Amino acid sequence: MTTVTRHVVERDDGAAVELFQAHTSSASPTGVMLFVHGNQGGLLLGAKEFVDTGTLLRVSAGLNITAAAVSQPGFGASDGPADFCGPSTQQAIIAALSFLKKQPSVDPGRIVLYGNSRGPVASAMVASQVAYLRALILSSGVYDLRAAFKNSSPRYPTSDRKRGRPI
């Protein structure tokens, strides 16, 4: 049977990081996939979105692995303001990975990081700092913020855009 547990771990600076974990009752350690959420349209649910939609349970049971999700700062119960994939977000993901790596149910040689929407930007930054990842999955990320801003909807005007200045 697969169960979901909620954890609060600490970043290096002591700030709280919310993490949800689903794991099967396998006798031997399994791989783990850590999900990093996107913007969520102002709902600020964080990792709980993966619990509420059943994603963690489906992935864990379907692949017979541990599935986990981390709340970025400013989302869920993670401390701090949202820093749009900045250092606090990266440290939150690293803290979650470190916690998972130490779990007896996790094979530390089989850790996968999965970023969705805005999550791939932060996940890619973390992957450049963490050598033990087995795989990295980046889904629907924005990797050229200058081009994304230039081509975005004019319903989000800024003073620089109105004046035609490049960012």
Mean pLDDT of the chain: 88
Domains of the chain in start order, with CATH, are 3-163 (3.40.50.1820)
Q: What is the pTM of this model?
A: 0.84
Amino acid at 143: Y
The predicted model gives 145-164 an average pLDDT of 58
Q: What is the pLDDT of residues 38-97, one digit of tens each?
A: 888 888 999 999 999 999 999 999 999 999 999 999 999 999 999 989 999 999 999 999
Does 167 have pLDDT greater than 90?
Answer: no
Q: Which helix or strand (DSSP H or E) is residue 97 part of? A: helix 87-101
pLDDT recorded at residue 124: 95
Banded model confidence at residue 25, pLDDT cuts 50, 70, 90: confident
Buried b (16+ CB within 10 A) or exposed e, 83-115: bebeebbbbbbbbbbebbeebebbbeebbbbbb
